[in-house]
Chains A and B, each alone.
Chain A
Amino acid sequence: VMTQTPLSLSVTPGQPASISCKSTQSLLHSDGRTYLSWYLQKPGQPPQLLIYEVSNRFSGVSDRFSGSGSGTDFTLKISRVEAEDVGVYYCMQSVQLLTYAFGQGTKLDIK
């Protein structure tokens, strides 16, 4: 089970934002990788990959986004929120092929 906090946040443009994701099990695989990803679903669009394996930014993703954490506790940080960052953020674990699981989602809007 993946638990995200907060479930919503309202941020002033230019200010930082942080989202936490906690897993009930370690996401460290026997291959040494930790399978925790972050996605952003903008309004009316499919989800898009932001971060994979905890801290690797996907191609084309702004360096304002960063991921950190280990084991069961993870964080997505946005250094300076912009209007285009509005949407719902999801964490997801893929350490076990049988039990992919998304967090509940965190809705970010602009103040």
Chain B
Amino acid sequence: QVQLVESGGGVVQPGRSLRLSCAASGFTFSSYAFHWVRQAPGKGLEWLTIISSDASLKYYADSAKGRFTISRDYSKNTVYLQMNSLRPEDTAVYYCARTRNFDYWGRGTLVTVSS
């Protein structure tokens, strides 16, 4: 069955970096685009970025441009989100999701940016 499992979250100080991972299984990884979406505590969903199936296209929300980078590793069936210069307002649960319709989601990983 389709599974997406995020990892890499934790507590980090402002200004530091973190790399999140999304391990995919149960389907042909190379055939699908992936997104990262976040949800601040008690808030709604915020789309961050997408990477196409062949990694040739990457798009970012304004809140992610310049600080976040999405990538993928076909040998590991994994999508990454590199987050730099983290701010307290980046505190959220980060989800990965599959395809244009966001048909499957992981359970998320919590990132807390605090000194």
Of the candidates B35, B50, B57, B102, which one forms a contact with A39 in the assembled complex, judged by CB atoms under 8 Å apart? B102
Stretch at the interface among A19-27, A70-78, A79-87, A91-99: A91-99
* CB-contacts of B58-115 with A (<8 A): 59, 61, 95, 97, 100-108
Measured CB to CB, the nearest residue on chain A to B48 is A100
Chain A residues lying within 8 Å of B97, measured Cβ to Cβ, are: 47
* A102 touches B (CB below 8 Å): yes
* Number of B residues, CB within 8 Å of A: 20
Q: How far is the CB of B86 from chain A (nearest CB, A)?
A: 22
* A35 touches B (CB below 8 Å): yes
Q: How far is the CB of B72 from chain A (nearest CB, A)?
A: 16
Q: How far is the CB of B34 from chain A (nearest CB, A)?
A: 12
Interface size on A, as a range, is 20 to 34
Chain B residues lying within 8 Å of A11, measured Cβ to Cβ, are: none
- Secondary structure at the B interface, as helix, strand, loop or mixed, is loop
Of the candidates B44, B50, B59, B95, which one forms a contact with A104 in the assembled complex, judged by CB atoms under 8 Å apart? B44
Of the candidates B47, B103, B106, B108, which one forms a contact with A101 in the assembled complex, judged by CB atoms under 8 Å apart? B47
User: How far, in whole Å, are A53 and B100 apart by their CA atoms in the complex?
Assistant: 10
Chain B residues lying within 8 Å of A48, measured Cβ to Cβ, are: 105
Q: How far is the CB of B111 from chain A (nearest CB, A)?
A: 15
User: How far, in whole Å, are A60 and B58 apart by their CA atoms in the complex?
Assistant: 31
Q: Is the CB of B103 within 8 A of A58?
A: yes
* A67 touches B (CB below 8 Å): no
Contacts A97-B50, A97-B59 given; does A90 touch B44 at CB 8 Å? yes
Q: Which residues from chain B sit less than 8 Å from chain A, CB to CB? A: 35, 44-47, 50, 57, 59, 61, 95, 97, 100-108
If A47-B105, A100-B50 are given as contacts, then 18 extra A-B residue pairs at C-beta distance below 8 Å, sorted by A number, are A46-B106, A47-B45, A47-B102, A48-B105, A49-B101, A52-B101, A52-B103, A53-B101, A58-B103, A90-B44, A92-B47, A92-B102, A94-B100, A97-B50, A97-B57, A101-B47, A102-B45, A105-B44
Chain A to chain B contacts (Cβ below 8 Å), 8 pairs: A46-B106, A46-B107, A48-B105, A52-B101, A52-B103, A90-B44, A100-B50, A103-B44
Return the 4 tightest CB-CB contacts between A and B, nearest first: A100-B47, A46-B105, A52-B101, A102-B45
